[in-house]
């Protein structure tokens, strides 16, 4: 009798532990107004747990207005969403599959995970919001900061560069700072994250050195012993950091040969 009772106790304890260790399959925030708004306020207001100041005190405007991020409505919205978008899906456009918020607040992990807000959740965890990690226990390690989210650099939005080097604004449209997002959740933003260290020759910051970098290289060239010419997306200093291969403090023909050697893409 005693041992059967003990066994019963163990079994109940076992079931309890099993239940705790199971991933929760209830989605806490399928849509923005299912609870993101309890901390972040309505999308059309200026509430921010991060202390961000938004243009017009309005997150919706920052994301969609042509003056700022200029994002297509269907990157976030679904025609049947009743104006309360899903966090992980949307109608999408001719150029973008509809990944909802994760199209910019997530990255493509491939395999079973696919496009997912892994880094966004890591950023919450590191900032004292524990519940994302409690359910999303299968999240892989976040991809590094310099990997662009799927919507970035497409015609449907101005959001472009996860490394957002000041004074550029390709990931930043808030007021009073030059930071965009902490895409990998290590609490280091953009160029302050070592993942964003410049790659020699990668003038357009897309992670590869190829023909697409050549126009920037050509425009940066100030000639021997001359200051480089700042060329979007590079400042004078960045022209030097990324394109002055021989370290003689100019960008000139002496650097061109090494620029070609760095090519990982095709050659003309
Ligand atoms: C319990 C409160 C809470 C909830 C719920 C919550 N957040 Fe947050 N969120 C925070 C805090 C705290 C931060 C970090 C503030 C900081 O960076 O100092 C944050 C940061 C963010 C950021 C900025 C990330 C960055 O890289 O700087 C975004 C975007 C965001 N949350 C979106 C969401 C979305 C979408 C949801 C719903 C799926 C959500 N949040 C739910 C509290 C919350
Ligand atoms: C970055 C994502 C995003 C984009 C892009 C976006 N919306 Fe929204 N929209 C939202 C969210 C989130 C809400 C829910 C706001 C809330 O309930 O707090 C919303 C709400 C709305 C509402 C309800 C009223 C309101 O302001 O809350 C309308 C209308 C709307 N959106 C229209 C549009 C149109 C039109 C576009 C394109 C010009 C657009 N949205 C682009 C995310 C977006
Ligand atoms: C009660 C459990 C639970 C909690 C808490 C929870 N989630 Fe989720 N979430 C889910 C489930 C289940 C799904 C859908 C399946 C999936 O994609 O893993 C999901 C999907 C998502 C998606 C869309 C798909 C994807 O992979 O990114 C986002 C974005 C998201 N969650 C963000 C968050 C954030 C941010 C927090 C913390 C503020 C959070 N979740 C907290 C259970 C939860
Ligand atoms: C086209 C890219 C894009 C899409 C799509 C997008 N976001 Fe953002 N979002 C950003 C960027 C970039 C920032 C940071 C801007 C800054 O701080 O200058 C941001 C900032 C935010 C913030 C402000 C965090 C803070 O307090 O500073 C919230 C909240 C947020 N997004 C929620 C959402 C939600 C919810 C959706 C989906 C309905 C969404 N976003 C879709 C790019 C996007």
Is residue 1 scored above 50 in pLDDT? no
Mean pLDDT of 183-212: 89
Angle at the Cα of 30 from the Cα atoms of 26 and 33, rounded to 5 degrees:
125
Nearest CA-CA partner of 72 in 97, 105, 47, 49: 97
Nearest by Cα to 266 from 231, 221, 214, 197:
214
**pTM of the entire structure?**
0.87
- Residues having CB closer than 6 A to ligand 3 are 24-29, 87-88, 101-102, 106, 116-117, 120-121, 124, 129, 131-132, 134-136
Name the DSSP letter for residue 54. P
Atom of ligand 2 at shortest distance to CA of 63?
1
Query: Which residue is listed with tokens 């079973």?
Result: 112
For residue 132, how many other CB atoms are within 10 A of its CB? 19
Band (161; pLDDT cuts 50, 70, 90): confident
Encoded tokens for 255: 């650097």
Listed residue (249, 245, 209, 260) closest to 225, CA to CA: 249
Site of tokens 């199209």: 103
Instruction: Give the span between the Cα atoms of 137 and 128, in whole angstroms.
Output: 16
Residue 123: which H helix or E strand, with range? helix 118-126
Ligand 4 pocket: which of 104, 148, 163, 171 to mutate (most atoms within 8 A of CB): 104
Asked if the bond preceding 176 is cis, omega within 30° of 0, the reply is no
Preceding amide of 54 cis, omega within 30:
no
Q: How far is the CA of 155 from the centre of ligand 2 (A)?
A: 19
Q: Which of 8-12, 124-128, 129-133, 203-207 has the least mean pLDDT?
A: 8-12
> Residue 224 is encoded by which pair of tokens?
């021997």
Could you report the per-residue pLDDT of 227-256, keeping only the tens digit for each?
999 888 788 888 998 999 999 999 999 999
Res. 13: pLDDT tops 80: no
């Amino acid at each position: 009798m005693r041992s059967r009772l003990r066994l019963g106790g163990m079994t109940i304890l076992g079931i309890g532990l099993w239940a705790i260790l199971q991933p929760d399959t209830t989605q806490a925030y399928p849509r923005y107004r299912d609870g993101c708004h309890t901390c972040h306020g309505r999308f059309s207001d200026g509430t921010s747990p991060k202390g961000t100041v938004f243009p017009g005190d309005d997150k919706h405007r920052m994301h969609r207005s042509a003056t700022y991020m200029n994002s297509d409505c269907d990157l976030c919205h679904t025609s049947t969403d009743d104006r309360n978008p899903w966090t992980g899906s949307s109608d999408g456009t001719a150029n973008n599959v509809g990944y909802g918020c994760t199209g910019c607040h997530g990255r493509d992990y491939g395999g079973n995970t696919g496009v997912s807000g892994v880094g966004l959740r890591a950023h919450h965890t590191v900032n004292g919001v524990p519940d994302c990690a409690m359910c999303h226990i299968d999240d892989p390690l976040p991809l590094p900061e310099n990997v662009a989210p799927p919507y970035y650099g497409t015609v449907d939005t101005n959001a472009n560069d996860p490394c957002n080097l000041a004074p550029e604004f390709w990931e930043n449209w808030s007021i009073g700072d030059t930071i965009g997002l902490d895409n990998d959740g290590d609490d280091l933003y953009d160029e302050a994250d070592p993942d964003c260290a410049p790659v020699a020759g990668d003038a357009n910051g897309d992670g590869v050195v190829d023909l697409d970098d050549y126009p920037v290289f050509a425009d940066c060239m100030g000639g021997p012993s001359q200051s480089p010419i700042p060329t979007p997306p590079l400042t004078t200093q960045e022209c030097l950091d990324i394109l002055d291969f021989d370290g003689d403090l100019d960008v000139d023909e002496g650097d061109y040969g090494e620029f070609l050697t760095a090519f990982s893409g095709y050659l003309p």
